[in-house]
Chain A
């Protein structure tokens, strides 16, 4: 399963950072997830919990913030997609397809290069440390 290996990588990074900061417990893990990445937040959270069992992150909650796609065009445009186009085209029946249909340069209309929106970033963690007790 796709999410399992991603959760392993997240777990390793979270534990390493938590230990460096003397954490007794990891309470929250905040992720930034690109809308074009093939990652399912619920499955990811489930896998993370399974991996984290018995560790200081076993009760950590996942907070997911989504990142819209951003574009770069040969005409010089850089920026995000026109969000007003999303959700208007019922025929496409999927948010991912709507985003992909909107990946055109809003200035010249050409097919633009995707420069953002595919990432999966462990943005921050919230931890409990001994000092606070």
Chain B
């Protein structure tokens, strides 16, 4: 019996493909957002609002990740933006290879903003970079105010956190400010936005954040 040394890092293999995706996106001047969060946190609605508001200003496309079915993809298509559904089959997250394949179907030359909706889950997407420019975690008050400390790594590794459905926080006996404090205890530097689909001002903050990224990408392209 003998020992063969391998040193093959499974996540780094994914990271390499993610880097390739990032270069591809950069080459085309596309700003990409990876939206992660649990089932029912409101990811699709937040993306819809962003698409509705930004599609006439920026050429917008969506990759809609889901285990099965195309419910979310059809919601984005209804808004008139190119949408690529990705069914993972049994997987609980998108990985860089799936996104690489999906990017082949996106007209990157004619895209400024690409929003990727990850599969509903606060755990698995953490270990898999996609090549995105902005990692967003969406959590809703309906998930309970201990949801954040139960899933520390996603808050530790994201670049923006959204606490959604804050208009019903009282009804579900949850303190959204405690959730914000918990996020900051895990990641002091992360911007945290409180949103509700019934409060346009809060949605504007969310959309403004994406627009900031698009602006930066376009500036960098000019240089």
A-side interface residues toward B, CB under 8 Å? 1-2, 4-6, 9-10, 13-14, 17-18, 21, 27, 36-39, 96-97, 100, 103, 111, 114, 118-129, 132
CB contact under 8 A between A38 and B126, given known A2-B92, A96-B153, A111-B188: yes
**Min C-beta distance of B199 to chain A, whole Å:** 31
B-side interface residues toward A, CB under 8 Å? 1-13, 90-93, 95, 123-124, 126-127, 149, 152-153, 156, 186-189
Question: Could you tell me the distance between the alpha carbons of A2 and B91 in the complex, rounded to whole angstroms?
Answer: 6
Hey, which chain B residues are within 8 Å of A5, CB to CB? Answer: 91, 95
CB contact under 8 A between A123 and B4, given known A1-B91, A9-B13: no
Hey, which chain B residues are within 8 Å of A14, CB to CB? Answer: 6
- Other than A122-B6, A123-B6, give 8 A-B pairs with Cβ distance below 8 A: A9-B13, A27-B1, A38-B153, A118-B127, A123-B5, A124-B4, A125-B3, A126-B1
Query: Which chain A residue lies CB-closest to B123?
Result: A38
A interface secondary structure, majority: mixed
Hey, which chain A residues are within 8 Å of B3, CB to CB? Answer: 124-126
Whether A38 lies near B124 (C-beta < 8 A) is: yes
Hey, which chain A residues are within 8 Å of B153, CB to CB? Answer: 36, 38, 96, 100
Whether A126 lies near B2 (C-beta < 8 A) is: yes
B interface secondary structure, majority: mixed
Question: Could you tell me the distance between the alpha carbons of A118 and B208 in the complex, rounded to whole angstroms?
Answer: 32
Hey, which chain B residues are within 8 Å of A2, CB to CB? Answer: 91-93, 123-124, 127
For the complex of A and B, list the 4 residue pairs with the smallest distance between their C-beta atoms, beginning with the closest. A2-B124, A122-B8, A120-B10, A121-B9
Hey, which chain A residues are within 8 Å of B92, CB to CB? Answer: 1-2
Whether B127 lies near A39 (C-beta < 8 A) is: yes
Question: Could you tell me the distance between the alpha carbons of A74 and B186 in the complex, rounded to whole angstroms?
Answer: 18
Hey, which chain A residues are within 8 Å of B149, CB to CB? Answer: 97
Hey, which chain A residues are within 8 Å of B123, CB to CB? Answer: 2, 38
Whether B9 lies near A17 (C-beta < 8 A) is: no
Question: Could you tell me the distance between the alpha carbons of A6 and B11 in the complex, rounded to whole angstroms?
Answer: 9
Question: Could you tell me the distance between the alpha carbons of A6 and B211 in the complex, rounded to whole angstroms?
Answer: 35
CB contact under 8 A between A132 and B127, given known A4-B90, A9-B10, A10-B10: no
Hey, which chain A residues are within 8 Å of B186, CB to CB? Answer: 100
Question: Could you tell me the distance between the alpha carbons of A132 and B123 in the complex, rounded to whole angstroms?
Answer: 44
For A119, give its contact among B6, B11, B91 (CB under 8 Å).
B11
Hey, which chain A residues are within 8 Å of B9, CB to CB? Answer: 119-122
Question: Could you tell me the distance between the alpha carbons of A47 and B152 in the complex, rounded to whole angstroms?
Answer: 25
Hey, which chain A residues are within 8 Å of B6, CB to CB? Answer: 13-14, 17, 122-125
Question: Could you tell me the distance between the alpha carbons of A18 and B6 in the complex, rounded to whole angstroms?
Answer: 10
Question: Could you tell me the distance between the alpha carbons of A61 and B126 in the complex, rounded to whole angstroms?
Answer: 27
